[in-house]
């Protein structure tokens, strides 16, 4: 009898303990926030086992809990909070009560804003962007190469789709190299967590929006990277993915609601036809598949019409700017996003960070298609996209055609003339990012068939054309590769790993031609950095004659002439044709060689060569 009583008491005590223990919260995001934003509203996403059965309360001067939203999944609550302008920084409890259970308390913090002169300063046409993939650039901390518990634990540098071990510390270690090259802004492919089982290195299948991938480093290290970049005069661009999310994300593994992502009866890819978005004669189903179809089976398509998704993404992006002080955003797969939401997103981000720069990836097939997505083009849309600039693939293709094509009415050098002539379609074409290649396409040196003269001419046009120039890592040392498959254009920068046979971050590790290429790019990039006429100056171009395309960049203080001979033979350019721009100038200096040119009336230009001449009176 006594034994039975003891067992009964023990059982009752066990039940009491279980009843008294409320499951811990798994996440509250954003985990902290700041006072002083123009938008006083904040929506917290709370995730925990059966958390929706809780009564929620908080008590802090200036902070009001205005709504508690329960959704389909009982493991979520969405809390609407209003923060008055007079609210002071500090910590306060958010209490979750459930009948018969011990209260669960989350201590929330509102911080003082970090905003300074170097915070969110913007990337403009005064800058030169250097795009790199952190996994493939340099390995500064081998201790984080493999992280236990992550789905992809291997490190295989001989495999194009495996992780190679590059990280944020590796980028920090080579900031001096980038500074010397003439770079002024760094864009890394997404560095936040991608905990996918395969090919997680590229960063475009995010699984945790508030966490730097531990194989790259920590949030604090990312913040340090931004700060060190700023002290060296380098800006930082963060790559954002609005359109899709990795299927291993906690937000997909336990979705708040079915409408968090676009659902289809069976798996459906996007048709990848951007024209369907703008086609006035188009079918609604085509447009829906373009916008709502998934990018990949491992990349769920986010439903940007869902207000909870909208709040979550917008707040996350504001959080990263305030937390780390980044200077600009590159927006991945821009045409696939909901345009109305993206306009609202841009307004909210700009309201908090007026100088922050934004440009969207638009790998589309005409100037009109590109311009359709940009700020100021409200015809047939009924609203402004608020997108300042795009990735100008048409300039890229035109430069390639000028280098590789044969002259025709719209071919060869005439292609680039005709593309630039369509700048009237943009509110401001100087906000567009111009480039020769990136991580999704064949490397420029391979595109020009490893012709070194063409390589220099392409770089010359990139660094003197209107817009914001962007280089891809390793272009300056003639890295090559074709994009089929894409892993071939994502090789390691040799010298970034301990034990590499050569260190191509140094002159001694590069061969003669690589050093010539590096020095050519460095000379021109640094000249551009010190020449406002090539940054913010006007552009005047002339109809090509005899296969030579000529344009000028100029301001009140300086005029620079750029002339490219797209022909197969040396040609002489008579400059009388350019009297409107050259009147009063009688000599010049070759920007690359420093050689003085006394006769600028007739210029001899070798085949496929670009001359860059600073004119003098």
Pick from 16-20, 21-25, 95-99, 516-520 the range whose average pLDDT is largest.
516-520
Taking a C-beta distance cutoff of 8 angstroms, is the pair 564, 405 a contact?
A: no
In a domain, 567, yes or no: yes
Minimal CA–CA distance to 217: which of 205, 225, 229?
A: 225
d(CA 96, CA 55): 6
End-to-end CA distance of the chain: 113
Total count of domains within the chain? 3
Q: Are residues 200 and 298 in the same domain?
A: yes
Task: Using the predicted structure, report yes or no on whether residue 303 has a pLDDT greater than 60.
Answer: yes
332 is catalytic: yes
In a domain, 123, yes or no: no
pLDDT category at 24 given cuts 50, 70, 90 is confident
Count CA atoms closer than 13 A to 333's CA, side-chain side. 23
Note the pLDDT tens digit of each residue in 146-170: 999 999 988 999 999 999 999 999 9
Q: Which residues contact 352 (CB under 8 A, 6 or more apart)?
A: 37, 38, 39, 318, 321, 322
In a domain, 121, yes or no: no
Catalytic position from the list 191, 332, 437, 475: 332
Instruction: Please give the pLDDT value at position 17.
Output: 37
Strand boundaries in 98-234, DSSP class E? 104-111, 129-132, 185-188, 192-193, 208-212
Sign, CA dihedral 223-506-162-189, equals positive
Q: What are the structure tokens assigned to 525, written together?
A: 């990039």
Instruction: Please give the pLDDT value at position 23.
Output: 61
Model confidence, pTM? 0.95
Count CA atoms closer than 13 A to 384's CA, side-chain side. 10
In a domain, 503, yes or no: yes
Region 17-29 average pLDDT: 67
Q: Are residues 427 and 517 in the same domain?
A: yes
d(CA 515, CA 378): 48
Neighbours of 143 (CB within 10 A): 8
Q: Are residues 431 and 517 in the same domain?
A: yes
d(CA 19, CA 6): 20
CA-based Rg of the chain, rounded to a whole angstrom? 28
Catalytic position from the list 135, 361, 437, 491: 361
Chosen domain end from 84, 111, 138: 111
- The 10 Å CB-count burial string (b at 16+, else e) for 281-309 is eeeeeebbbbbbbbbeebbbbbbbebebb
In a domain, 280, yes or no: yes
Note the pLDDT tens digit of each residue in 307-364: 999 999 999 999 999 999 999 999 999 999 999 999 999 999 999 999 999 999 999 9
Taking a C-beta distance cutoff of 8 angstroms, is the pair 130, 187 a contact?
A: yes
Q: Are residues 498 and 578 in the same domain?
A: no
pLDDT category at 4 given cuts 50, 70, 90 is very low
Give the CATH number, domain containing residue 107.
2.60.40.10
Taking a C-beta distance cutoff of 8 angstroms, is the pair 74, 50 a contact?
A: yes
Instruction: Please give the pLDDT value at position 2.
Output: 37
In a domain, 118, yes or no: no
Q: Are residues 247 and 373 in the same domain?
A: yes
Note the pLDDT tens digit of each residue in 265-294: 999 999 999 999 999 999 999 999 999 999
Q: Are residues 411 and 278 in the same domain?
A: yes
Q: Which domain holds residue 46?
A: 2-111
Task: Using the predicted structure, report yes or no on whether residue 12 has a pLDDT greater than 50.
Answer: no
In a domain, 124, yes or no: no
Q: Residue with structure tokens 């990949």?
A: 296
Task: Using the predicted structure, report yes or no on whether residue 427 has a pLDDT greater than 50.
Answer: yes
Chosen domain end from 80, 111, 142: 111
Q: Are residues 313 and 386 in the same domain?
A: yes
In a domain, 428, yes or no: yes
Minimal CA–CA distance to 127: which of 179, 185, 180?
A: 185
Q: Are residues 425 and 558 in the same domain?
A: no
Q: Are residues 429 and 351 in the same domain?
A: yes
H/E stretch holding 320 reads: helix 307-324
Q: Are residues 335 and 462 in the same domain?
A: yes
Q: Are residues 14 and 140 in the same domain?
A: no
Give the CATH number, domain containing residue 605.
2.60.40.1180
How does the average pLDDT of the chain come out, rounded?
A: 95
Q: Are residues 526 and 540 in the same domain?
A: no
Give the CATH number, domain containing residue 453.
3.20.20.80
Q: Residue with structure tokens 């620079």?
A: 560
Chosen domain end from 501, 530, 559: 530
Taking a C-beta distance cutoff of 8 angstroms, is the pair 184, 528 a contact?
A: no
279 is catalytic: no
């Amino acid at each position: 009898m006594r034994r039975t009583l003891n067992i009964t008491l023990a059982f009752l005590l066990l039940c009491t303990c279980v009843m008294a223990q409320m499951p811990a919260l798994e996440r509250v995001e954003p985990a902290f926030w700041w006072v002083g934003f123009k938008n006083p509203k904040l929506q917290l996403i709370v995730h925990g086992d059966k958390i929706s059965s809780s009564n929620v309360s908080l008590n802090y001067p200036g902070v009001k809990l205005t709504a508690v939203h329960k959704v389909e999944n009982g493991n979520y609550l969405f809390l609407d909070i209003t923060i008055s302008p007079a609210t002071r920084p500090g910590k306060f409890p958010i209490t979750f009560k459930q009948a018969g259970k011990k209260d669960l308390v989350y201590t929330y913090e509102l911080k003082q804003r970090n905003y300074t002169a170097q915070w969110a300063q913007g990337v403009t046409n005064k800058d030169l962007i250097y795009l790199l993939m952190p996994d493939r650039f340099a390995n500064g901390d081998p201790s984080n190469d493999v992280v236990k518990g992550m789905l992809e634990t291997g490190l295989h540098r001989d495999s194009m789709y495996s992780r190679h071990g590059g990280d944020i510390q590796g980028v920090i270690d080579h900031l001096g190299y980038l500074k010397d090259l003439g770079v002024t802004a760094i864009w890394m492919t997404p560095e936040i967590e991608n905990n996918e089982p395969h090919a997680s290195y590229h960063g475009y299948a995010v699984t945790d929006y508030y966490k730097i991938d531990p194989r790259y480093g920590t949030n604090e290290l990312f913040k340090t990277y931004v700060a060190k970049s700023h002290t060296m005069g380098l800006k930082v661009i963060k790559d954002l993915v609005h359109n899709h999310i990795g299927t291993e994300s906690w937000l997909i593994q336990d979705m708040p609601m079915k409408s968090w992502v676009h659902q289809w009866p069976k798996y459906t890819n996007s048709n990848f036809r951007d024209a369907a978005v703008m086609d006035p004669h188009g079918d609604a189903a085509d447009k829906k598949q373009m916008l709502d179809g998934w990018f990949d089976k491992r990349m769920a398509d986010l439903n940007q019409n869902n207000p909870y998704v909208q709040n979550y993404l917008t707040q996350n992006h504001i959080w990263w700017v305030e937390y780390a002080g980044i200077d600009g955003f590159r927006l991945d797969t821009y045409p696939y996003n909901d345009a109305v939401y993206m306009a609202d997103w841009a307004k909210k981000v700009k309201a908090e960070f007026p100088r922050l720069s934004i440009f969207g990836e638009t790998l589309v097939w005409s100037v009109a298609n590109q311009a359709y997505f940009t700020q100021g083009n409200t015809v047939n849309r009924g609203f402004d996209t608020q997108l300042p600039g795009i990735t100008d693939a048409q300039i890229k293709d035109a430069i390639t055609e000028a280098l590789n094509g044969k002259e025709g009415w719209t071919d060869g050098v005439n292609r680039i003339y005709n593309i630039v002539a369509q700048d009237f379609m943009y509110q401001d074409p100087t906000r567009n990012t111009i480039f020769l290649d990136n991580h999704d396409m064949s490397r420029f040196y391979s595109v020009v068939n490893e012709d070194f003269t063409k390589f220099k001419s392409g770089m010359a046009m990139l660094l003197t054309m209107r817009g914001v120039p962007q280089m891809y890592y390793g272009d300056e040392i003639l890295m090559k590769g074709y994009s089929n498959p894409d892993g071939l254009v994502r090789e390691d920068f040799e010298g970034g790993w301990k034990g590499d046979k050569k260190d191509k971050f140094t002159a001694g590790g590069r061969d003669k031609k690589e050093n010539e290429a590096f020095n050519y790019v460095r000379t021109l990039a640094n000249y551009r950095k010190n020449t406002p006429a090539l940054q913010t100056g006007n552009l005047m171009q002339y109809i090509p004659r005899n296969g030579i395309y000529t344009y000028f960049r100029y301001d009140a203080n300086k005029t620079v002439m750029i002339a490219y001979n797209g022909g197969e033979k040396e040609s002489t350019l008579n400059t009388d044709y350019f009297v409107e721009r050259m009147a009063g100038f009688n000599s010049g200096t070759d920007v690359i060689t420093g050689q003085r040119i006394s006769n600028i009336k007739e210029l001899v230009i070798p085949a496929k060569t670009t001359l860059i001449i600073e004119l003098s009176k």
